[in-house]
Amino acid sequence: MGMLKKFFCSLFLISSIEARPISYSGGSTLMSISDNLKDSTYYHYSPTYKYSIGVEQVKDKFFDKKFTYLRLTYLLNRKNTKNSQRNLYFQSALSTDNLNDNFYGMHGDWETRRLFSGFGYKKVINNFRDFAEQYFQLGIAPYQGNYGDFHTWILMKTRKNSLVGDWKTYPVLKFFKGDFLFEIGYDSDVDWDVHLMYRF
Amino acid sequence: MKKGYFLTIFLISLFAWADDDHHKSHTMEMEAHSHEGHKHEVMVDGRKLEVDPDRFDKFVDGQKNFHVAVISVNGMVCDFCARGIEKTFKKDKSVQKIDVDLSRGKVLVLYSLSAKIEFEDIKQKILSNGQNATDLQVISI
């Protein structure tokens, strides 16, 4: 049961930080995520807008252990229009502790200044039990701020983990201004999910 | 005074025509004055300058002897995602100022007069942020 919690928690963290997987060319991103079970710090660098490489440090509060992942995200497809952007990404990661612990998957999003939708699928392979996760996300911006303003998004996220078996749906609020982003979600099972991001 | 004005417009038109032929980049120029109440809405070739006039006037307020590049960008739907555009252009020493208009998908860049403004270079800068530049209009102030 402990291991299941560990895997579920790791998966939850991984899914949450996929919102901005690649920066602009030469850009770096620092992320921090915290909930009742885990603290995570993830840094990634984007040599081009096509891919990012990064390191994620996860502190497991439940087992009082630390894990380190090497991550790669690649932009498979992007469609820019005047009023929207659509993305499709491939992602992968290897644990530095054990190369048999890894994951791969795809996720995508489509957004306008008013609407956001996203999905993701991930297959996690490890020494204990392989599992998969999928999620969908829908959001709306209650107002359309100008460049440099304080921006707000209201989202609903629903996810299914093959280890747990049922869908979880919970609200997420996202705020950003300048290079800072703050996201907070709540679910009775996973408790508070707090996400900070700084891009430079 | 009127003759000088029309001569200026005519010369700029000729220059714009030649520039367009050379680069095939939809780049045009217009003479923009800072007279009070003057709205910079129409290019010399009659095309509409799709930029917020008030925003443009605010951007060029107090500025003289500069080029303003009005760049149309596809995919610029998010403030957080557009940050890289500003950072990329600010690395160019000939860029004095930049403004992003999310609602119209425009980027305004204030260049020094000596700057060579190439649409290909601008397209690369925008692409490095993951968006696409679709049009460029250069205005001399």
Q: From the CA of A70, how many Å to the nearest CA of chain B?
A: 23
Q: Is the predicted pLDDT of residue A80 greater than 90, yes or no?
A: yes
Contact B102 A176 (CB under 8 A): no
User: What whole-number distance in Å separates Cα of residue B124 and Cα of residue A28?
Assistant: 19
Contact A24 B102 (CB under 8 A): no
Q: Is the predicted pLDDT of residue A28 greater than 80, yes or no?
A: yes
Contact A24 B103 (CB under 8 A): no
Nearest to A163 by CA among A122, A191, A108, A107: A122
Query: What average pLDDT does the segment A24-32 reach?
Result: 92
Residues of chain B in contact with residue A111, where contact means CB-CB under 8 angstroms, are 77-78
pLDDT tens, position by position, A107-151:
999 999 999 999 999 887 877 778 888 989 999 999 999 899 999
Nearest to A11 by CA among A69, A55, A64, A50: A69
pLDDT at residue B26, as a whole number: 43
How crowded is the C-beta side of A66, counted as CA atoms within 13 Å? 5
> What is the DSSP annotation of A104-147?
EEEEEEEE-SSEEEEEEEEEEE-SS--EEEEEEEEEE-SS-PPT
Task: Please state, rounded to an integer, the average pLDDT across all residues of chain A.
Answer: 84
pLDDT at residue B32, as a whole number: 45
How do B28-31 and A115-125 pair as beta strands? unpaired
pLDDT at residue B36, as a whole number: 44
CA distances from A191 to A17, A194, B1 (A): 17, 10, 73
Backbone angles phi, psi at B21, to 5 degrees: -65, -40
Q: Is the predicted pLDDT of residue A193 greater than 90, yes or no?
A: no
Collect the ranges in chain B with pLDDT lower than 70: 1-49
Q: How many domains are there within chain A?
A: 1
pLDDT tens, position by position, A40-79:
899 999 999 999 999 988 787 766 778 788 999 999 999 9
A-B CB pairs within 8 A amount to 76
Question: Could you tell me the two tokens for A183?
Answer: 């996201």
3-class DSSP assignment, residue A100: coil
pLDDT at residue A61, as a whole number: 74
How crowded is the C-beta side of B5, counted as CA atoms within 13 Å? 4
Q: Domain limits at A35?
A: 2-199
pLDDT tens, position by position, A96-109:
988 888 889 999 99
Q: Which long-range CB contacts under 8 A does A176-181 form with residues at least 24 apart? A: A176/A150, A176/A151, A176/B79, A176/B80, A177/A148, A177/A149, A177/A150, A177/A151, A177/B79, A178/A148, A178/B83, A179/B80, A179/B83, A181/A20, A181/B80
What's the CATH number where A156 sits? 2.40.160.40
Maximum mean pLDDT: which of A14-18, A79-83, B24-28: A79-83
pLDDT at residue B139, as a whole number: 87
Compare CB distances from A78 to B78, B100, B130 and report the shortest one's residue: B130
Q: At what angle do helices B79-90 and B119-127 cross, to 10 degrees?
A: 130
pLDDT at residue B45, as a whole number: 54
Contact B131 A80 (CB under 8 A): yes
Task: Enumerate domains of chain B plus CATH numbers.
Answer: 2-140 (3.30.70.100)
